[in-house]
Amino acid sequence: MNVKALLIAETLIFAALYFALTFILAPISFLPLQVRVSDSLIMLSAVLGLPVVYGVFLGCILANLFPVGYPPNPVDVVFGSLANLIASYL
Asked if residue 11 lies in contact with residue 54, where contact means CB atoms within 8 angstroms, the answer is: yes
Rounded Cα–Cα distance for residues 58 and 10 (Å): 12
Asked if residue 74 lies in contact with residue 67, where contact means CB atoms within 8 angstroms, the answer is: no
| Total tally of structural domains belonging to the chain | 1
Q: Measuring CA to CA, how many Å separate 31 from each of 7, 14, 28, 67, 71? A: 33, 23, 6, 10, 12
Per the structure, the complete domain to which residue 82 belongs is given by 3-89
pTM of the complete model: 0.91
> For every one of its 90 residues, what pLDDT tens digit does the chain have, with 9 covering 90 and above?
799 999 999 999 999 999 999 999 988 888 888 888 999 999 999 999 999 999 999 999 999 999 888 888 899 899 999 999 999 998
